[in-house]
Amino acid sequence: MNHSHATDVWKSEQVALILIDYQAEMFANLRSETSPEQVELNTRLLIKIAKAFDIPVVLSTVGVEMGVNGPTRASIQDELPGIQVIDRSSMNAWDDPAFRAAIEKTGRKRLVFGALFTEICLTFPMLDAMRDGYDAMFVVDAVGGMSQLAHRTAVERLTAAGAVPNTSLALVTELFRDWQSPLAEKAREVITWYVPEAQKLSAALANQAEVSA
């Protein structure tokens, strides 16, 4: 396995997108720097670009069949019509055979992860994936923790272990690289959707902050 992944620029044909536990109960308890609304928007961006670039997506939840948690947030689930959601009982998705099998089925050895929470459902499977020979990247503004300290500690732990941190829009541009590439027009369509949505959201959050103050 090539361990220069931290110094590589990743390519769309190399990666699979892994999304874990974007459920209402997790969103309700986010307390780190990226707001729940921003996490949701950035996760939708990742899904849209995955579909545009033919990147496989694996989606998992925890505790739905057990009646502990609700399903994937509707706005995220709606971006993936027909996808088979892998529900688990385990905190660590890597412990679930169906989850691992779905990743193996993609045939990709570079995994881009998003999950709630950073310190639990993101960290555990990423560490195990790297142990098992995968390269792993995580999208810092599409994840969040139950506190800023928990989130930041997890980011530091993952980075120290060799995982690659990135942000959502930076990843999009990394995957298509060139405005004259075959993927550029598809990328432009997604970015044209995303930028006004991000600007509107930032303005709304700023207004909320002013009112709260």
Q: What is the pLDDT along the chain (213 residues), one digit of tens a residue?
A: 444 566 789 999 999 999 999 999 999 999 999 999 999 999 999 999 999 999 999 999 999 999 999 999 999 999 999 999 999 999 999 999 999 999 999 999 999 999 999 999 999 999 999 999 999 999 999 999 999 999 999 999 999 999 999 999 999 999 999 999 999 999 999 999 999 999 999 999 998 887 876
Query: Does residue 84 form part of some domain?
Result: yes
User: Residue 27 belongs to a domain with what CATH number?
Assistant: 3.40.50.850
pLDDT at 209 (0 to 100):
82
Q: How far apart are CA 176 and CA 11, in angstroms?
A: 7
Query: Does residue 195 form part of some domain?
Result: yes
Q: CA of 133: how far to CAs of 3, 59, 63, 109, 129, in Å? A: 9, 21, 28, 8, 7
**Using an 8 Å Cβ cutoff, are 20 and 142 in contact?**
no
Query: Does residue 148 form part of some domain?
Result: yes
The total number of structural domains that make up the chain: 1
Whole domain around residue 109: which residue ranges? 13-212
Taking the complete model, does pTM exceed 0.85, yes or no?
yes
